[in-house]
Amino acid sequence: MRVCALWSMGGSCLPRHDGRTWNIRLPVSARSVRLVSRAWVPSHMLPERIDTRDLGVAISGLRVDGRSLSLDDSILCFGWHEPEPKWRWTNGDAGLALTGARTLAFDVAMTGTYWESADGYETSSHVGKVNGV
């Protein structure tokens, strides 16, 4: 799994992770962060599924500067699907308004299923759509 964080002012980083917890140190100038990942569509990968949403990663916990946030907190500004009982899916490009924050930690509950191309690289279930990093 690959997740990239991009912030307002043009910076980016690959978060450090320990198991399912990912951590990002934010620069003082960051006003917002985008979590960018691959995306997949369940109905494109599994014939018995009827879910046609673009799904990035399912986040089960969020912490800003060590403080736990609800998965329906107002800082989640775009690219988030409705919360489910134990997680909230991104669409592959999800924003958080984090003015003044210095750290962001998030727990990834699950990711998607991806096709593997003939050359061994994983591809999204979308043809011609770039969502990954």
| Mean pLDDT across the chain | 81
Average pLDDT over residues 66-90: 97
Counting beta carbons within 10 angstroms of the beta carbon of residue 120, is it exposed (0 to 12), middle (13 to 18) or buried (19 or more)?
exposed
Stretch 74-89: mean pLDDT, rounded? 97
What is the tens place of the pLDDT at every residue in 3-44? 666 666 566 666 787 889 999 888 888 888 888 888 889 888
Summarize the confidence of residues 77-101 as an average pLDDT: 94
Residue, of 79 and 9, whose pLDDT is higher: 79
